[in-house]
Amino acid sequence: MFVSDVPQNLEEIPPGAELARVLEALDWEHLSDHDLIRVLQAQARQTAHYQAGQAWTINKVAERYQEGYRQDSFEFHDAAKGAACEVGAALNLTRRAAEGETGFSVELLRHRPAVFAALLLGRIDMRRARVLVDETQHVTDAIAQSAIEQLLPEAPGLTTGQLRYRIAKLCLDADPEAARKRYERSVTDRRLELRPTCSGTADLCGLDLPPHIAASISRWIHKEAINLKNLGDDRSMDQLRADIYLDLLRRRYKNGKITRADFGNLDMRVTAETLTGASEGSAELGGFGPVVGDVARQVAESQEHVHRRWMLIDPDTKQPIDGGIT
């Protein structure tokens, strides 16, 4: 029998069997506007609870495979592949998707237990859990645990973009030298990838690029798109940015060279200590996010055709103390 009255304490009911019974008993079609939102939030908590349970089960499958392979003197890598095959067959996933789900579940349960607990209790959803896990895999467990402890209380009120930004800054500042080495390793892998899409179009992506160069180009493209829009161009902003991007790449060489464009302004928030090299603290690149200190110094020393708008930040108060344009 369905009921239309939503319990007054709905927000206090923890996800699990009791909340499932309450939600199943409701007559969803006759809920008030206010109760629709309350039920939506309760459903989100219950969904997170079940997703945590699925991650637990996938990790348990991996554990069983690991135990069996250990007895036969196989490596854990083989056990993980076997578990992923089992998960893929059970959930009808591609090999890559199954390996991704298995790897995430193992990481969540074995290395990020606080994130698992928050997901199980419905305090965060799977999107935020994935950000907390994925964005801390490149740092030590100690740094990851510290960042997660600081962010978990705030995570429910942050968007995934805000959460990703906060994690990046905490991880950069926790070990600047390690962050610099990660950046240097990653930028050596810079590359261009062409990917066909299922709709017959193509994705042309530059990966692992120096962030200050990528950000300045992106800003310039956006500025030019606005100029065209103001002139009455009926293309959308997304279409304009994409078309300008392609037009730039299709420019012909002139006398063996490509004339550089003026890429406009580039904003950087940085402490004096970082700028002078006395500290390896992170800086903030406008339109991009946190970057290692070495990138901030590269921006300051660059001779590229870009106007650098800089702001010196007090390392203690985080407030601006000076600024200008060069």
pLDDT, tens digit, for every residue of 199-248?
A: 878 899 999 999 999 999 999 999 999 999 999 999 999 999 999 998 88
pLDDT, tens digit, for every residue of 240-259?
A: 999 999 888 776 444 445 55
pLDDT, tens digit, for every residue of 63-111?
A: 998 887 655 545 556 677 888 999 999 999 999 999 999 999 999 999 9
Count other C-beta atoms under 10 Å from residue 235's C-beta.
13
Three-point CA angle 99, 104, 107, nearest 5°? 125
- Residue 82: what pLDDT? 85
Q: What is the mean pLDDT of residues 288-306?
A: 75
Counting every residue, how long is the chain? 326
Selected residue with higher pLDDT from 283 and 18:
18
- Residue 307: what pLDDT? 63
Above 60 in pLDDT, residue 303?
A: no
- Residue 166: what pLDDT? 95
The pTM score is 0.74
Locate 322 and state its tokens: 């000076």
Percent of the chain clearing pLDDT 70 (strictly above): 87
The label of the residue with tokens 């200050």 reads: 212
Please name the amino acid found at residue 322: D
Q: What is the mean pLDDT of residues 161-184?
A: 92
Percent of the chain clearing pLDDT 90 (strictly above): 58
